[in-house]
Structure 1
Amino acid sequence: MKRLPRPHRHDVQIAVAGLAGGVLLWILGLFSRGSGLLGGGWALVPLAVTAALELLRRTRPQCAIVGGTAMVVADQFTAGNLATILMFTDIVYAAVLYGTSAAARRIPVTTGLISVAVTIGFLAWFRTPQALLVGIVTALVSFAPATTGALVRNHRDAAEAATLRAEQTALLAEIDRAQAVVAERARMARELHDMVANHLSAIAIHSTAALSLDDAATTGRALTVIRENSVAGLAEMRRLIGLLRDSGAGSEPVAAPTLAGLDALLARARTNGVSSGLDFALHDTRPPGAALPAPVELAAYRIVQESLTNALKHAAPGTVTAALAHTGRALTVAVTSPYGDRPGPRAPGSGAGLVGMRERAVLLGGTFESGPEPAGDGGRIWRVRAELPVVEGESSV
């Protein structure tokens, strides 16, 4: 058998106070009517039952209002007790406040119609203006508490909805913050990899050559290249630290690399690739004076830089070619390198470079592809190709 829920302590207090007050009125002989069909003692029965129904006002509001209505009707056949009427008004109020949504809409309408019907009925019966008082009392006992309960419930629901919206807003803000942190960490990782990997790859290749070849001249050239790349790598690291550090007022922003620096980039790659039999060439077919958005220039520069770094690590002897073409709506970046076995030392790769290049292209709304392709001389090449939109509104950034 299902047990009834335990009544709320406030409901118990209301029931005890109502019952005690009603008994006190009965002892003092204060009745709501002078007489009734039943004796004065019978007024205690509706009083006690209504007080018991108060225990259900919060847990079983529908049962409480049905029973309370029956007790109010029964009270009319006794001398009457004011406490019974007052407890009934509280039951009506609680039925709207704690009942279902359908009950909260139905009870005010029902009590309003009952109040109007009672007023019209008594006017037709008594045919005196005093009959309006019966309708007013009926409205005060039923319609007024029902309307009050509806107003309180609406305010409560509005407050809960506002709290829920605030919690959802805070949750969305936290999600946005977390996504922004992840995106910024990914951007920092790409910058760190693209700026430093080129120099570290050259250092790894030449240090391996210096250790494996017992030749003073080769060792001297390798140490020279190692020193140059170490100094350049430190400079790049300082630039990155300057970007990350909170600079004070009056400090000048550090300029991002542009495509104008590709000649210097390829010159450094030629120096680093001598020991591996690599040469580097640049084919720039862009129309002179064509302006590019800064994010596009940075992405194109980094893609070329990372492609040259990968060529230094893995390309077979031959010529590495970087090509730029501007079609008016997009900038095309293509880097090809000989694909096959290579003699001499190799620097290990992590695969993060290809991921970073793809991310840079996708963030600008462009495309990226890489992989081996057949060459015209019967050999194979490794091609990296990115297409970066340059027309305003086509970029996703």
Structure 2
Amino acid sequence: MAVRLPRPHRFDVYIGLTGLLGGLLLWGIGLGVRPAGQPMVLLPGTWPLLVPLVVMAGCEVLRRAAPRTALLTATAALITDTVTEGNLVTVLMYTDVMYAAVLYGTPTSARRIPWITGLLTVAGAIVPFAMWREPEALLIGVATGIVAFAPASTGLIVRNHREAAESARLRAEQTALLAEMDRVQAVTAERARMARELHDMVANHLSAIAIHSTAALSLDEPQTTRQALGVIRENSVAGLAEMRRLIGILRDDSGDTESPTGLSASLGQGGNPVAPTLDGLGALVGTARANGLDVTLDAGHGEALPAPVELAAYRIVQESLTNALKHAGPGRVTVALLRRNGSLDITVTSPCGDRDGPRAPGSGAGLVGMRERAALLDGTFEAGPEDSPEGKIWAVRATLPVGEDGGAS
């Protein structure tokens, strides 16, 4: 099966046609490289030099599409040209074919051709001089260097520069891609953090509002309705205050509103003073009691903890109490915090409810948020039903690492 050569480049066709026309011009005016009377001119006359000229022009057309084939064919044409009166354009076109063979050829050819032409240049100078002992014999090596080694070396230099530029471009693209991936990941993480904050801030208050509004609508007792409306108002005001706090954080002029790092710090990851701390657990438990839960609190965690740990612990307790308000049955809800072995242990238990459904609708995002908060601090989290002496309970257990010096581990 015949081998089909690639389609030549348009610029290479122009080079080949230009070289052919230039060579024909020199042939037309009878200008050759060597006089007809020289002994090495085996094919005298002006017509024989047209064959290597035409072949060399064809090699110029293939200089980029098939550089190896073009170089081998051009070398044979140049050798043929040396036994004719010669054409300067044929020699010039050969230097361009040699240059293109290194520039557009395979990496192996690009490495070998300069070495081969360099050895031929040295041999072309030493061997004739050793044989004839004439200084003029060195000119053979010089001619070989000009025709072969110089264009091959130039092609190698240009190729190395192009490859270096391409490598730099690829590195820049990879750097930009990695930067974009980091930005997307940072934005995604920040959106998840904001979702957790919004859920934890509002879910507790809205759950209490939903439960007590249901009670107010279902019971025709003025006193019960009044109590329920009081609880609804308290939770509405508290929820509104939480929302205003978050809106103030998002509009804080001290940080870039589009910077995930600045927003993370504002949401409590950097110890912002507006973020809730474990000192507010008493008020949180008081609100849960006002909403109808029987809650006991054991917050024996000791000295102050890092701000991220305190925020995560507060939110885990808050969400656990919200779930207890929606799902727990009658009975005591216990909240216990204990600092030991460089970590903070959090345990919240509540009686498992026997009702058909929750007292207020939920999305299931609370458990996901608590698990994410623990994972961000390299802690552990688990929640599920357990057996206890008091019966079936729902237990939330989290362990948040804390450094021995009070810093997050």
CA gap 1:393/1:23 in 2 versus in 1, 3 angstroms: farther
1:384 counterpart (382, 388, 396) = 396
CA gap 1:343/1:25 in 2 versus in 1, 3 angstroms: closer
Shift of 1:344: 10
What letter corresponds to residue 13 of structure 2 in structure 1? V
Is the Cα contact below 8 Å between 1:89 and 1:145 reproduced in 2?
Answer: yes
CA gap 1:343/1:155 in 2 versus in 1, 3 angstroms: closer
1:281 correspondence with 2:288: no
Residues 319-342 of structure 1: per-residue CA shift (max 9 Å, x gap):
111000001410011101111315
**Alignment partners' CA distance in 2, 1:226 and 1:137:** 100
Query: Aligned residues: percent identity?
Result: 65
- What corresponds to 1:26 in structure 2? 27
**Alignment partners' CA distance in 2, 1:136 and 1:349:** 89
Count the aligned residue pairs. 388
1:296 correspondence with 2:309: yes
Give runs of ≥4 in structure 1 deviating > 6 Å.
Answer: 392-397
What letter corresponds to residue 286 of structure 1 in structure 2? H
CA gap 1:130/1:352 in 2 versus in 1, 3 angstroms: same
1:368 correspondence with 2:369: no
**Alignment partners' CA distance in 2, 1:53 and 1:393:** 78
**Alignment partners' CA distance in 1, 2:358 and 2:117:** 93
Extract unaligned runs of 5+ from structure 1: none
**Alignment partners' CA distance in 2, 1:242 and 1:144:** 71
- What corresponds to 1:219 in structure 2? 225
Extract unaligned runs of 5+ from structure 2: 256-265, 267-271
What letter corresponds to residue 12 of structure 1 in structure 2? V
Is the Cα contact below 8 Å between 1:209 and 1:345 reproduced in 2?
Answer: no
Is the Cα contact below 8 Å between 2:401 and 2:408 reproduced in 1?
Answer: no
CA gap 1:131/1:343 in 2 versus in 1, 3 angstroms: closer
Residues 224-282 of structure 1: per-residue CA shift (max 9 Å, x gap):
10011001100000011111124259xx9661100000000000100001xxxx30110
CA gap 1:55/1:32 in 2 versus in 1, 3 angstroms: same
SS in structure 2 at match of 1:385:
strand
Is the Cα contact below 8 Å between 1:364 and 1:389 reproduced in 2?
Answer: yes
1:126 correspondence with 2:132: yes
2:182 counterpart (176, 179, 184) = 176
SS in structure 1 at match of 2:49:
helix
Using the size of structure 2 for normalisation, the TM-score is 0.91
SS in structure 2 at match of 1:90:
helix
**Alignment partners' CA distance in 2, 1:352 and 1:344:** 17
Is the Cα contact below 8 Å between 1:206 and 1:226 reproduced in 2?
Answer: yes
SS in structure 2 at match of 1:221:
helix
CA gap 1:204/1:225 in 2 versus in 1, 3 angstroms: same
**Alignment partners' CA distance in 2, 1:343 and 1:137:** 100
- What corresponds to 2:154 in structure 1? 148
**Alignment partners' CA distance in 2, 1:139 and 1:126:** 20
Shift of 1:345: 7.5
Shift of 1:2: 5.4
Is the Cα contact below 8 Å between 1:306 and 1:353 reproduced in 2?
Answer: yes
What letter corresponds to residue 237 of structure 2 in structure 1? V
1:109 correspondence with 2:121: no
Using the size of structure 1 for normalisation, the TM-score is 0.94
